[in-house]
Amino acid sequence: MEVEPARADDVDRIAALNVAAWRAAYRGLLPQGYLDELSTAARKAQWIQALADPAIEVLVARDGPALLGFAAYGPSRDDDAEAATLEVYAIYVAPCAYRQGIGRRLWQTICQSELARNAAAISLWVLKGNHAAQRFYQALGLTADGHHRTLTMGGMSVRECRYVGPATRVG
């Protein structure tokens, strides 16, 4: 398996994996109708935009032609974050490849990046009730900092909690 920067020709596979990962990870946490209606085409448009943004880094984990996971990160979007805070916007692994170390490899690559080396802290948001993700990030050395935000998805209000850690000690 290799982890490397995403290329423009990865967008279709990133979008498809994004939809599959959301349907698996958020089953029971988000309305099923909302998950069923997720659109690969809409996600593709988002990932084309992300790849074009020079502030966002997108990584893919691949085994030959198979895309096993992806991650995206860049400057924190939180109003209360210090300028030197790196935010991980997404880490998703193909459901067929769970628990094979792919998420950890993506995380380690993020932590070794130039952006992380210049960061004082790393943050990310986790959907409340996503216990697998919470355990994963806790095992990497992040902790919930008590900040929450509420989003509306599929007509339902959902809460996310922020996890943070010093960039020099996580991973």
Domains of the chain: 2-120 (3.40.630.30)
How far is residue 75's CA from residue 169's CA, in Å, rounded to a whole number?
18
β partners of residue 91: 71
**The predicted structure's pLDDT at residue 21:** 96
**The predicted structure's pLDDT at residue 170:** 62
**The predicted structure's pLDDT at residue 171:** 59
**The predicted structure's pLDDT at residue 169:** 59
Nearest alpha-carbon partner for 167 in 108, 119, 126: 119
Q: What is the pTM of this model?
A: 0.92
**The predicted structure's pLDDT at residue 118:** 83
Any idea which residue has 């209360």 for tokens? 80
How far is residue 90's CA from residue 160's CA, in Å, rounded to a whole number?
13
Spans of the chain, pLDDT less than 50: none
Any idea which residue has 């958020």 for tokens? 26
